[in-house]
Amino acid sequence: MRHRHLNHSRLTLAAIDDIIARGQWRHWADLRLAIRRDPSILDGIERICVQYVQDPYAQRHHFWMRYAEESRARS
């Protein structure tokens, strides 16, 4: 799947949001690897996901928000 806004190597907020909202498992695995290389990506994930906290149907965003929180707690 080619994601919107991914015409370069940087993970912009739009690219992260697209991966979370539309990505498949392998795209999520790639995002996780990118986070391990550059933990500052967690800032972008939290910035995006906080907008979906009140939406009970935004389960993908809830998952990634929790992932970001847990990753920060471990570091």
Contacts of 40 (CB under 8 A, 6+ apart): none
What whole-number distance in Å separates Cα of residue 66 and Cα of residue 61?
9
Q: CB neighbours (10 Å) of residue 33?
A: 10
Structure tokens at 57: 């149907």
pTM (global) more than 0.75: yes
Would the pLDDT of 2 be above 70? no
Q: Using one digit for the tens of pLDDT, what is the confidence trace for 23-68?
A: 999 999 999 999 999 999 999 999 999 999 999 999 999 999 999 9
Spans of all domains in the chain: 13-74
| Helix, strand, coil content of the chain in percent (nearest 5) | 70, 0, 30
